[in-house]
Structure 1
């Protein structure tokens, strides 16, 4: 005898099940609902300040009254999370497009190298003008420009990391999804996203820290001899630094620490604990990460209810994929047609790029001539030396530390907030101490700038190493313990092959982050005193402040040339090695 459920009756019973769930509401459900309502209320109240009137003819005054710090902190947090949301959507779209299309991959991945090499100030120069023109007379234009600047400090690292997780998907998972004829949506949601969840969360955490690092530059904007400032903890700290008020600088540092710890406890710690369930291993880990917030949410029925309400959306996307023929079945394509399509695609893309280069060359020839590239090319060598020192030192110091943290969930719980604070700490906040130290010791910024650059770059290696170590199955580590493999042999046979792909991702982004950090590390102002190092970062920062667009374009172009060249000659070779030899 067989029993069948009427689909119509099942659909009709959904409101009844929802009503029954509501009747079983506990105090935890009430607390979660109240917290969500409070969060929405705060967001709406803070968001009201983003649409006030604004005139480009006057400079905005930043009120450094300590009573304004809670509001300024809320405005900065709103920008950071909006930028993170945009970065996540961009990561999924960009990485999936590059991983699933060989034609797009040939353009998108080199473009990603170029995009991560363009400094935040390079994006800001264009973004401020464009968004102010898009929203004339409204503060929303400056808000969008600031969010876009934070987005550019987050998105590239996340996109590259998720792209690697897609291209290195375990073969058995790939074959399983194809044998079950998953649509692309099902493959993404059921296979690809869980497989890359750990790396995505840790790269997102690191990128969020990168946004904190450039918060002063994105909220206190100086372009074309005009100063634009938005209420926020970054602009507050910038105003306090310019005034040399050490007390208010200390309050800004304290507020920043509270914000970082709070975001880590309420947001990142639950995500990292949740990502533990996506580890690819045969045996259960003896010790897993815990989160009090996640444990509290699991006691609530709201997440399950929300999942049930959103489940029809996933089914609709899967049905749409099948109707449109968007699946992962291999298509038999005529090789001649494939080559013809590749040639047409390359011709169109090459034509657009050539047209842009010709127009740019005409602009530079008319204003400065092509000799403008000589000075930034020489200055780039000095910045290149600092970048190499930062990456080598970060590798030697932080790879062993990251492995130790990633192998120990208990140590991860202790170290994660501390590492997050250090990674999120803007170098600008240390300018008063840096200026005092450099002047007191006579240390040149040409050497001391390496320390400031390291604050914005070394953490990419640490975070990716932690993610790589966490992704190594615990059963492999236990097997090594049983066989008595210790010391260098353990590193050679297990640890280095396991973390190598993640380290390459961290190395590429750390190198790009060091180039980007050179802009705020080679020019250090405090209370009327400005220290300047010889380098490409200082060249770009000074060109931006003067509004000298030809020299700014030359500096950005040379920095992109150095970053892309370094990636192609060194990092990409390591990436191909990781893809061919150390892929799962």
Structure 2
């Protein structure tokens, strides 16, 4: 090679690959800037709509041009309800896991709340919000968001609570020895440890949020009709008018939204949370997300992280550590315990006063209810109970082996996870008319159809919790079972079932509550201006809401809550305690 050839600049600097590598971060920064501008503009549109005058019964247009606006309103309600659910789940989980005196009461309350159907929350919440904000659309919208929140939050709270109870003791002891403050322990141990379960349960919660959205955007409350602009009211209007083309357009819009949310949000979160897996051996085959890889190459996000977030977090942790050392030296443990007792006593007294007032008001409402109504409610409760049991057994029969297969096989997971997430996020309420018509044509009555529809609505609670449990099993334990040549039965008995057991119990508990919740839609359904109903507690709740019979609505809700709490006490609570002790990863 000659000297002139050696002195020539390398062509790599002007190659196409080099230009692409240099231009990609700029394109990403422009995309992030455009997304932030679009988000700001969306907030302005939402604020202008919510600050307008009250329109409880909006005119729903079935034109295709109305779908983007309806999709925006529905996604905004789902997002705000999810953020509210996440904040509540974390706060409630902490309080239940670390306050021994209040733990039993809080978990029992959570059992009751998750068993109350969305339709039972709907009348009091909507009326309360409209009373608080009577002159603006914000009152109805906040009521709608709170009702959607009641359909999303419970499984997230159970998941976070179960994760906190399953943290290995040696990690907790390490935090105590290093005098971590509560905030430092939360961000460096508890939230990372709970991340996998929380992400997968967030997907279920959003899917259940779509379920609740279909109910909350269009409903009757006595003689008043409520209709809010959104995809739920669009699909309900199209179904009631028998407009198949509008139904198809609405379903396609929902599918597009679900695919976009899966690719832009859930897959990056799954790949991000995989780094928090508790194991001693590095797993070479981890979850991947092209979107997450692109975001990590952004100049804006990198500089914000390096020059703002990381120095700020280091200073905050240092200040918290100094404050914790000072408090440890000044405030004895006896004083801390005394303060904790005082706070618990004040909070418990406040709750008892509220409970006493609620019971007194409820007794006045149901005082004149005839005996025949109680008999019908008990018969309906028995019918719904049998349907819930059958739906859970059918759901567990396929979700446990399928979830373990996906969680153990990364190659299969990359293919199956997106389809499973899309299927779970697709609101079952949007498919109910089609499935119900198909089942009725086969000769199945609404009672049998309700079981199938319950299973479709609740199977994902078990499925995604099993996947999360299988993925959370450390890779070194899987390798040990392979090295020792475990048979399939031995592998299931000694590794898989003990490993997924805490997640499985969480999934079954939330699926049970979800099945009771789904009974309000599966046992009482309006199809082509016809009302189909069967014997069941859910049908009685729905009918009482339609007719404004609040006495029956309250009594049916109380009976449903008592049944669910009894089941939790006799079955789920002992199994949950077994998961916290015998099958805890140490």
The normalised TM-score by structure 1 is 0.90
1:529 pairs with 2:517: no
Moved more, 482-491 or 26-35: 26-35
Moved more, 276-285 or 409-418: 409-418
Distance 1:265 1:327 in 2: 47
Query: Which residue does the alignment assign to 1:216?
Result: 214
Distance 1:417 1:83 in 2: 23
CA drift of 1:369 comes to 5.8
CA drift of 1:240 comes to 0.5
Distance 1:49 1:472 in 2: 47
Matched ranges for 1:492-503 at <5 A? 492-503=493-504
CA drift of 1:49 comes to 2.3
* 1:543-563, Cα deviation, whole Å (9 max, x unpaired): 001111111101111111111
Say which SS state the counterpart of residue 518 (structure 2) adopts: helix
Query: Which residue does the alignment assign to 2:460?
Result: 459
Query: Which residue does the alignment assign to 2:508?
Result: 507
Distance 2:300 2:100 in 1: 42
Quick one: structure 1 residues 337 and 269, their matched pair in 2 at CA, closer, same or farther if it must change by over 3 Å? closer
Say which SS state the counterpart of residue 196 (structure 1) adopts: helix
Distance 1:523 1:513 in 2: 16
Quick one: structure 1 residues 283 and 114, their matched pair in 2 at CA, closer, same or farther if it must change by over 3 Å? same
Say which SS state the counterpart of residue 531 (structure 1) adopts: strand
Quick one: structure 1 residues 426 and 26, their matched pair in 2 at CA, closer, same or farther if it must change by over 3 Å? closer
CA drift of 1:347 comes to 6.1
* 1:106-165, Cα deviation, whole Å (9 max, x unpaired): 321111111101111111111110111122122111111111111111111101100111
CA drift of 1:41 comes to 2.3
CA drift of 1:579 comes to 0.9
- Preserved contact between residue 50 and residue 143 of structure 1 (Cα < 8 Å): yes
Say which SS state the counterpart of residue 227 (structure 1) adopts: strand
- Preserved contact between residue 120 and residue 153 of structure 1 (Cα < 8 Å): yes
Query: Which residue does the alignment assign to 1:76?
Result: 74
Distance 1:77 1:385 in 2: 35
1:358 pairs with 2:356: no
Query: Which residue does the alignment assign to 2:235?
Result: 237
- Preserved contact between residue 183 and residue 326 of structure 1 (Cα < 8 Å): no
Distance 2:377 2:321 in 1: 50
Query: Which residue does the alignment assign to 2:61?
Result: 63
Query: Which residue does the alignment assign to 2:226?
Result: 228
1:571 pairs with 2:572: yes
Quick one: structure 1 residues 229 and 439, their matched pair in 2 at CA, closer, same or farther if it must change by over 3 Å? same
Distance 1:341 1:133 in 2: 32
Matched ranges for 1:409-488 at <5 A? 409-488=410-489
- Preserved contact between residue 186 and residue 318 of structure 1 (Cα < 8 Å): no
1:547 pairs with 2:548: yes
- Preserved contact between residue 276 and residue 288 of structure 1 (Cα < 8 Å): yes
- Preserved contact between residue 460 and residue 506 of structure 1 (Cα < 8 Å): yes
Quick one: structure 1 residues 362 and 397, their matched pair in 2 at CA, closer, same or farther if it must change by over 3 Å? same
CA drift of 1:541 comes to 0.3
Query: Which residue does the alignment assign to 1:274?
Result: 272
CA drift of 1:453 comes to 0.9
Query: Which residue does the alignment assign to 2:93?
Result: 95
Say which SS state the counterpart of residue 485 (structure 1) adopts: coil
Matched ranges for 1:138-537 at <5 A? 138-307=136-305, 308-311=307-310, 312=312, 315-316=315-316, 319=319, 323=323, 331-332=333-334, 349-350=351-352, 352-365=354-367, 367-368=368-369, 372-537=373-538
CA drift of 1:226 comes to 1.4
Say which SS state the counterpart of residue 222 (structure 1) adopts: strand
Query: Which residue does the alignment assign to 1:558?
Result: 559
- Preserved contact between residue 118 and residue 147 of structure 2 (Cα < 8 Å): yes
Quick one: structure 1 residues 55 and 30, their matched pair in 2 at CA, closer, same or farther if it must change by over 3 Å? closer
Distance 1:390 1:490 in 2: 28
Quick one: structure 1 residues 26 and 125, their matched pair in 2 at CA, closer, same or farther if it must change by over 3 Å? same
CA drift of 1:206 comes to 0.8
- Preserved contact between residue 395 and residue 461 of structure 1 (Cα < 8 Å): yes
- Preserved contact between residue 500 and residue 582 of structure 1 (Cα < 8 Å): yes
Q: Which runs of 5+ in 1 are unaligned?
A: 1-23
Say which SS state the counterpart of residue 303 (structure 1) adopts: helix
Which aligned segments of 4 or more residues in structure 1 are displaced greater than 6 angstroms? 324-330, 333-345
The normalised TM-score by structure 2 is 0.90
CA drift of 1:377 comes to 2.0
* 1:295-338, Cα deviation, whole Å (9 max, x unpaired): 00000133333334245367447736864877899934799999
Quick one: structure 1 residues 318 and 547, their matched pair in 2 at CA, closer, same or farther if it must change by over 3 Å? farther
Query: Which residue does the alignment assign to 1:112?
Result: 110
Moved more, 353-362 or 472-481: 353-362
CA drift of 1:358 comes to 2.9
Quick one: structure 1 residues 155 and 34, their matched pair in 2 at CA, closer, same or farther if it must change by over 3 Å? same
Distance 2:455 2:158 in 1: 21
Say which SS state the counterpart of residue 154 (structure 1) adopts: helix
Distance 1:160 1:253 in 2: 31
Query: Which residue does the alignment assign to 1:54?
Result: 54
